[in-house]
Amino acid sequence: MINKKWNGSIKNWESIDESILKLDMNIWGYQLTIIGIYAPNEDNEVRVKDEFFANLNKEIVKSGNGRQLILMGGMKGRTGRKMGTQ
């Protein structure tokens, strides 16, 4: 996932849960936090979605104001309506 040339820049990484991974790096004079996510979709239970977004929000807040933040991953965006099977 990370190119070998950046190994020295990685300060910490943490698996928050099965859907969220956090990586802290110091690169080119910037303190950077990358949060990789695999978001639940509309078909998941409300409890699962609420728990995911609560955990994500907690990690964003914990990253603080002094770090650059990149959020990446499978966001499960969808437009339009889901078509039923016929």
- Alpha-carbon distance of 20 to 69, in angstroms, equals 14
pTM score, whole prediction: 0.76
Instruction: Read off the tokens for 53.
Output: 């977004």
84 occurs within a structural domain: no
Strand partners, 79: none
39 occurs within a structural domain: yes
Q: Please write down the HEC assignment for all residues of 8-41.
A: HHEEEEEEEECCEEEEEEEECCEEEEEEEEECCC
pLDDT in tens, 30-86: 999 999 998 888 888 999 989 999 999 999 999 888 899 999 987 766 556 666 655
pLDDT for res 33: 93
pLDDT for res 58: 94
63 occurs within a structural domain: yes
80 occurs within a structural domain: no
Domain with 22, as residue range(s), is: 13-74
3 occurs within a structural domain: no
42 occurs within a structural domain: yes
